[in-house]
Structure 1
Amino acid sequence: MNNLFDLSGKVAVVTGAGSGLGADAAIAYAKAGADVGLLDLQQENIDRVKKEIEALGCKAITACCDVTDEQLVKSAIELVLDTLGHIDILLNNAGIAVRGGVDSMTAEDWDKAFDTNVKSMFLTSKYVIPHMKERCYGKIVNVASVNAVVADKNDLFIRHSYNSSKAAVLGLTKGMACSYAQYGITVNAVGPALFETEMTANTLFKSEEFLKAYNAASPAGRPAKKGELNGTIIYLSSDASSYVQGQFIIVDGGGSLV
C-alpha cells in the first residue's frame, strides 16, 4: 500500500513554491521521493526551498517567474524539462486574495485576482499537458479554496474576486479532467480553508475577533495546522488516486458542513 504514495522518480512542478502552502507542498513532494521544479516571483524564497529539497536528497530547479506572463511560463516549463527530463505532476498553487466586494474594489484588482488565480493555471497547464499527453501520464492538482463554495459576510473576509476566481478554478478542473482523462492525465482540485501563511498572517490571524468567530463556527474548533494539506496533495499526485478524476476535496476541518 505504501508504494501507491511513493513519488520516487517523479518530477513535480509547483507554482507559488517560495512560501506558504506551495513551499510546504514542494518539500512534501521531495519527502515522497520526487524531484521538484520551483516557480515563484521571489528568487530568494525558492532558493531557500531548493536547499531544503536538496538536503532531502532530491533535485530541485528554480525559475523566477510571473505565472501570469505566457512567455515566462513557457520558458520556465522548458527549463524544468531540459534540466529534470520530464514532468509527472503539476501543482497549480499560485494565488492571491484581494479584499473587497464588487461595490468597492477596482477593476484592476479584479483582473489581478483572475490573472493570478485562473489565468496562471491555464498557462502552466497549456505548456505541461502536451508533454503529459505524449507520455500518457500526468497528475494535475489545482489549489482552489473552500471559498469557491462558501462565502462570508464578515467585512474582514469579503473577497468577491477570490470567491469567483476560485470557483472558476473548479470549472477549469472539471473541463480539463474530462478532456484529458483519455491520455492518462488526472486533474483534481483541493479546497483549503484557513491556514496561516504569508497571505493570512498579517490579516486574518491578527484579528482576534475573526479567529474567535472562525473557531466557534468550525467543527474542528481551530484553523488548519502547517502541513495539513500535504496528505491530500500527495494523494492526488500519486498513483493512489489513479481513478479519481475531476474531484474537489475540501480540507477545512468540517467548516463547510455547518
Structure 2
Amino acid sequence: MRASTLAVDVGGVLYYDEPFDLAWLQGVWELAQEDDPTLTMDAFLQAVRDFYRHRTPGTPPPSLFPPNGTKSWQCVRERWTSLVQPIPGAVDALGQLAGEYETCIVANQPLECLSALGAMGIEQQVRLVALDSLVGYAKPDPRLFEWALDRLNWKPEHTVVVGDRTDHDAAPALALGCSAAIVNVDGGWSAPAEVDPEIEAVYRGLETRQGYTSEGSARYWSVAALGDLADVLWAGGREECCPWPSQEVHP
C-alpha cells in the first residue's frame, strides 16, 4: 500500500484531551456544591469514579450531576482555545506530513475546535476539516469518514486514518478499506490552574481510556507520536506492523 492521503484526528493526536475533562469536572464540582452545600469532596470524587467506570464510550460527557454537567461543558466550550495544550511536536509533524500528502481533519470535536485549529495554524495546512458537530455523524460511525472522503474524492485504499483510539478510529477506518495509525502519546499534559488537586489526583488514577480488541491487520500501525508516522509512510508501509493491541487505552 502506498498512502497518498491522510485523515487526521485532533484530540489525543494534535492536542491533549485531558485538560478539557479536568476543567469540566472542576466546573461540575463547583456547580454541584452550590446546589447542595452538604456535598463533600469525597462523595463527589466517588461519583466521578463511578461515572468513568460506567461511562459508555463515545457518549458526550455532560451527564454527571445533571444539569450541572451540561452547564459546565458549555463553560468549557466558551474557553476552548485557552484550554488547548498542543502535544509537543505534533503541529510541526502535521505540517511536514501535509507537505508530502493531501491531508484533512476528521474528528469528534465541538465547533470551537475550528478557532483552536486556526490559532495553531492547522486549518490552513489541510484540505478539509470534518467535525462531527458540523457534519452530523460522529465516530465510530464510518459515515463521518465517508463524508470527508467523498468530498475530497479520495480512495480508501490510499488513505491512512490517524487517531488515538482503536474503537473510534482504526476500527471504522479498516472497515472502509483505509489503513489506520494509532498515536499513543505520553501524559505530558498539565491540569488547568483552577482544578482542585484532589480532582486531578483521582482523574490521573482513573482508567479513562477505552479498550478494544480485534484481529491483527496488515493495514494498521501503532506509533508513539505523529512525527513517527512519516517513517512508516515514506517506507511505503512495508515495516513490520504492530499487532492490534489487546489492552489499548484511549481517552
TM-score, normalised via structure 1 length: 0.44
Q: Which structure is larger by alpha-carbon Rg, 1 or 2?
A: 2
Greater relative contact order structure (CA < 8 Å, 6+ sep):
2
TM-score, normalised via structure 2 length: 0.45
